[in-house]
Amino acid sequence: MKLRQLAHSRTGDKGNTSNISVIAHDPADYERLLREVTPERVKQHFADVVKGTVVRYELPRLGAFNFVMTLALGGGVTRSLALDAHGKSLSSALLDLELPDS
């Protein structure tokens, strides 16, 4: 199962930092996402992109998380040669994260 089956996401950026919100479609899935979508798994998922830290902020009343990833945008919008210097496609890439069946 892919994360996109349980959640949707949005992406933002500031300099060389990207943040991705992950919002459960159904609040009942929040606890599963809490267990499965850890900062470590997100860092591993973006191993070729994120050179810094991944911090997860939990928003249980919203059924959401915000992942802040440093050193993630090739130096930032004004310095990166990446096709997607803002990192907007990272939210879609995160939704491809495989979750174990449960």
Give the DSSP per-residue string, 2-30: BGGGTEEEEEEEETTEEEEEEEESSGGGH
Least confident of 5-9, 28-32, 91-95: 91-95
**Residue pLDDT, tens place only, 11-59:** 888 888 889 999 999 999 999 999 999 999 999 999 998 999 999 999 9
For the full predicted model, state whether its pTM sits above 0.75: yes
What's the confidence (pLDDT) of residue 83?
A: 43
What's the confidence (pLDDT) of residue 76?
A: 57
Residues 6+ apart with CB under 8 A from 37: 3, 22, 56, 65, 97, 99
On whether the CB atoms of residues 58 and 40 are closer than 8 A, the answer is: no
**Residue pLDDT, tens place only, 48-63:** 989 999 999 999 999 9
Structural domains of the chain in order of their starting residue, each with its CATH number:
3-73+84-92 (3.30.70)
